[in-house]
Amino acid sequence: MDIRKVKKLIELLEESGIAEIEIKEGEEAVRISRMPTGSAVVHALPQMAAAAPIAAPAAPAEVPKARPNEHVVTAPMVGTFYASPTPGAKSFVEIGDEIKVGQVLCIIEAMKMMNQIEADRAGRITSIMARNGDPVEYGQPLFVIE
């Protein structure tokens, strides 16, 4: 599928407010779904995966109760957690760092797509609950912001 078509689909998704769209063109299939933060993620499905039923994820991992002044950032998807942009590079954030809204906290790789996970509120990182290269589940706690 042409990348220009995929970009156009993402633009249409963002403008329309639709949560998810799946397009099949011959043997190719693309599913684009909007994440809760408003960003879009593209999932390219191989022919066999598109034909097979897709199992719904199990219930999200239980989020620990945050104290009133804490906010838990959870994984918006299943994938592999990366703390830095490239192997050996400095981590996006470390415990004690002051962060701003929209600052990249980590990357979750899902289906060979690198998805930047951004802070949805400002504060100070008090806990990082995943290690570089760890698999993460939908709803799994990743960071605590105070």
CATH number of the domain encompassing residue 103: 2.40.50.100
Q: How many domains does the chain have?
A: 2
**Does residue 15 carry a pLDDT above 80?**
no
Rounded Cα distance between 145 and 94, Å, is: 11
Whether 36 and 7 map to the same domain: the answer is yes
First CA to last CA distance, the chain: 44
Residue 94 burial (CB count, 10 A) = 10
The most confident of the ranges 23-37, 64-78, 113-127 is 113-127
Whether 77 and 109 map to the same domain: the answer is yes
Q: Which two tokens stand for residue 89?
A: 């590079």
Whether 78 and 122 map to the same domain: the answer is yes
Domain hosting 16: range is 3-51
Answer whether residue 24 is part of any domain: yes
The whole model's pTM is what? 0.54
Answer whether residue 66 is part of any domain: no
**pLDDT for res 42:** 52
Is the Cβ–Cβ distance between 80 and 136 less than 8 Å?
yes
Q: What is the pLDDT of residues 76-128, one digit of tens each?
A: 999 999 999 888 889 999 999 999 999 999 999 988 888 999 999 999 999 99
**Does residue 64 carry a pLDDT above 60?**
no
Whether 45 and 81 map to the same domain: the answer is no
What does the longest C-alpha to C-alpha distance in the chain come to? 52
Average pLDDT score, the chain: 77
What is the average per-residue pLDDT within 68-72? 83
Whether 44 and 104 map to the same domain: the answer is no
Bridging pattern class, strands 141-145 and 123-128: antiparallel
Whether 42 and 83 map to the same domain: the answer is no
**pLDDT for res 87:** 86
